[in-house]
Chains A and B, each alone.
Chain A
C-alpha cells in the first residue's frame, strides 16, 4: 500500500469539507433559531402549562449529550424503519441541540427587558402580541446579539461530533486524510487551523457586540 502525502489536493479536500461544516452550522442555527425562538416565547408565556412544557424541553436537551441526540435520530429512527441520510440526521440533531440552548439564551434576553416596558405598553392598550412585536423583542434582540454569536462558535465546533455517523464535515475529512497519509500532526494542525479561522472572527464579533452593548447602555 502506497501512502499519500499531505499536499494541495488533500488540503483542498479539507476546504470542501469545511464548507459542509459551515452548511451544517447554518442549518443548526436557522433551524434551531426558529424552534428556539418559539420555545423562548413559550417559556415567557402567561400560560403556566406552556412555560412548564418549554422549561422541560430545555432541561432535557441541555441535560443530554449532543451525541445521544445524534445516535437517537440516526440509529434509533432507522430501527423504527426510517433510514435518515447522514446530512438529515446531522442537521436534525444539531437543530434540536441548538434550539435548547438558543431558547434559554433568548428567554434570558426577553426577561432582561425591564418590567416597566411591559406595563407602559400594556397601558397603551397593546395586545400581548403587539407588546412582543413592537416593544419587547426589538430590545431583547439587541441584548441577545453577543451571546447568540458566542453560541454560534460552540455550534461550529460541535458539528465535529456528526463525524461519528459518517457525515463528512471537517473533522471527518481530517480522519479520512490521516488514514491515507498517516501524517496526523500535519493533518490535524491543518484541521484545527481551519476551525480557528472560522471561529476566531465570530468570537471577536461577539466581543465587539458586547462592548458596543455596554457602551450604549451607559450612555
Chain B
C-alpha cells in the first residue's frame, strides 16, 4: 500500500492557481525529488502534504491519515510526518537538546529518560552529539539544519518532507546536510524533497518529478529523467542548471 497518495490536487492563492491537478503516489521507502523553477508549485505541493497550506480540491493521504482542515486530525497526521524548512526554524530560546526533546515530551507524553535517550540518538545520527547543550545561535547554518532534521526525527515519523533545506547554505555546509539526508534515505525513510541540488536528486532520489506551471510535467526514475528528458521544458531546465 502506498505511503502517500495525492489525487488531483488543486490549490489557488487568490485568483492565481498554483497547483492545477497534481496526482502522485509514493511507496514506502521511496525518495521523491521535486524539481522545477521557482513558482512551479513544488514548495506549495510539499506544504499541502502536511496541511500547512489548505488545498481547494482533491485528496491527500499520507501515512494512513487524510489531510483535512480539522486541527485534531492534522495533529494526528503530523505525529507521523516530519518537515524540515529552508530557514531551519529552530526555537532560539531553547538549547539543541531542548529543541529536540520538546515535542516528544509534550505531544507524545514520553518520559524524561526516554526522550533524552532518543534525543542523544538522533543527534548522534546527524553527527552533533557534542552540541546537546548549545544554543541555535551558537551553531553554523549547516549545524542548525542538521539539528532541525534531528528534531523531526525524534518524533519517529514515517515520512519526512524537506523544503529546499540547503538553499540558505554555503556550498561547503550544503554537503554535510545532504550527507545526513542520504544516510536517512539509505536507512529506508520515505522522503519527499523539494530541491535545487540536481546531482543529489539524480544520485539519491528513486524518482524525480519535474513540475512546471502547477503541473507534473515529467516524472520518472531519476537517472532516466535526467539522462533523457522528454519535454523541451525539462531539457531547458536541466541545461540551465549545468551552467
Listed in ascending order, the chain A residues whose CB lies under 8 Å from chain B are 116-117, 119-128, 130, 134-135, 138-139, 142, 219
List the B side residues contacting A135 at CB < 8 Å. 91
List 18 additional contacts besides A117-B89, A124-B107; criterion CB under 8 Å. A116-B87, A121-B91, A122-B52, A124-B102, A124-B152, A125-B79, A125-B155, A126-B75, A126-B106, A128-B71, A130-B106, A130-B107, A134-B102, A134-B106, A135-B91, A138-B93, A139-B91, A139-B93
Complex A-B: 29 CB contacts under 8 Å: A116-B85, A116-B87, A117-B89, A119-B52, A119-B85, A120-B89, A122-B78, A123-B50, A123-B52, A124-B102, A124-B103, A124-B107, A124-B152, A125-B75, A125-B76, A125-B78, A125-B103, A125-B155, A126-B75, A126-B103, A126-B106, A126-B107, A127-B71, A134-B91, A134-B106, A135-B91, A138-B93, A139-B91, A139-B93
CB distance from B17 to the nearest CB of A (A): 23
| Partner-A contacts on B (CB < 8 A) | 50, 52, 71, 75-76, 78-79, 82-83, 85, 87, 89-93, 102-103, 106-107, 137, 151-152, 155
Is B89's CB under 8 angstroms from A116's CB? Answer: yes
**Set of chain A residues within 8 Å of B155, measured between Cβ atoms:** 124-125
In the docked arrangement, what's the CA distance between A134 and B102, Å? 8
Is the CB–CB distance between A117 and B103 below 8 Å? Answer: no
Chain B interface SS verdict (over half): mixed
Which residues of A lie under 8 Å from residue B79 when comparing CB positions? 125
Q: Which residue of A lies closest to B80 (CB)?
A: A125
- Residue of chain A at shortest CB distance from B93: A138
User: A120–B91 contact, CB under 8 A?
Assistant: yes
Given A134-B102, A219-B137; A123-B78 close (CB under 8 Å):
yes
A131 nearest CB across to chain B (Å): 10
